[in-house]
Amino acid sequence: MTSKILKLLNKKAIVTGGTRGIGRAIVKELASNGCNVVFTYFSSDTAAQELEKELSTDSVKVFGFKADASSFASAEETVKFAQEKLGGVDILVNNAGITKDTLLLRMSEADFDAVINSNLKSVFNYTKAVLKPMIGQRYGKIVNISSVVGIIGNPGQANYVASKAGVIGFTKSNAKELASRNINVNAVAPGFISTDMTEKLNDQQREAILSNVPLKRLGLPEDVAKTVLFLAGPDSDYITGQVLTVDGGMVM
């Protein structure tokens, strides 16, 4: 019998937005590789408790922490919680995100601010909060979840696309700034992944998307989670400042 190699044995991670979709798959992938995880969530205490229960074992600790990712103070509280419960932070995955899609003509200031705060400012909040501990230990892996639309643009998503393009710029600047401290910063840009976020698509929109996907299927949250595992683990030690698309070949 061959035993599984645990790529993140005894590592400690924070994942934002971990109760559903891609974030949930990331929490599972990290935990099943021996990583202790604090995941944040915004609304469902029940979903968080169930995930904690499902993934916690004698050797892996998994805790949910209710925290609005757009709040700077909450990010600091999350890191404090992770330090108390896990003893530190080696890995940060900035995953939490929302959409408020509409054409620019109809987009309100509130729609713009909400998306920028949840998707971009959140990445600043959590990166700032983990910086001192990561610099102190001279080790860190930061993985930011962007989107292919942050590279190619998309009508009806100006707020979302601006936030995701911002995440790419933020990732590259931080990669250059933090490389000398042995902190790798990379982004993952998913294409269309089957989650609650893409549930709203009608059949016509789905067909139109698939006609541009060479691999002819929507992605699964696990497709993204495996890429995050690679960027959070030792196999990517010589990779920083990159944007890895996980999109079935849509953007190349």
Give the tokens for residue 117: 């705060």
- Residue 7 φ then ψ, to 5°: -70, -20
Site residues for ligand NAP, window 8-27 (CB under 6 A)? Answer: 16-23
User: Counting contacts by CB under 6 A, is residue 196 touching ligand NAP?
Assistant: yes
Establish if 190 lies at the interface with ligand NAP (CB under 6 A).
yes
- Residue 195 or 227: the one with the smaller Cβ distance to ligand NAP is 195
**How far apart are CB 185 and ligand NAP at their closest, in Å?**
16
- CB 119, min distance to ligand NAP, A: 6
In the complex, least distance from residue 23 CB atom to ligand NAP, rounded to whole angstroms: 5
Minimum distance, C-beta of residue 10 to ligand NAP, in the bound complex (Å): 26
Judged by CB under 6 A, which stretch of 94-102, 104-112, 131-139, 170-178 contacts ligand NAP? 94-102
Total interface residues for ligand NAP by CB under 6 A: 31
Q: Applying CB under 6 A, which part among 54-62, 95-103, 105-113, 229-237 lies near ligand NAP?
A: 95-103
Strand partners, 144: 94, 187
Using CB under 6 A as the binding rule, whether residue 42 contacts ligand NAP is answered as: yes
Distance between CA atoms of residues 105 and 238, nearest Å: 44
One character per residue 96-135, x = contact with ligand NAP (rule: CB under 6 A): xxx-------------------xx----------------
By beta-carbon proximity to ligand NAP, the closer residue of 58 and 109 is 109
Q: Which residues are catalytic?
A: 160
- The two structure tokens encoding residue 98: 């929302």
- By CB under 6 A, tell whether 195 contacts ligand NAP: yes
Taking the complex as a whole, the smallest distance from the CB of residue 5 to ligand NAP amounts, in Å, to 27
Query: Measuring CA to CA, how many Å separate 22 from each of 5, 222, 224, 226?
Result: 23, 7, 7, 11
Give me the residues that bind ligand NAP (CB under 6 A), please. Answer: 16-23, 40-44, 68-70, 95-98, 118-119, 145, 147, 190, 192-193, 195-198
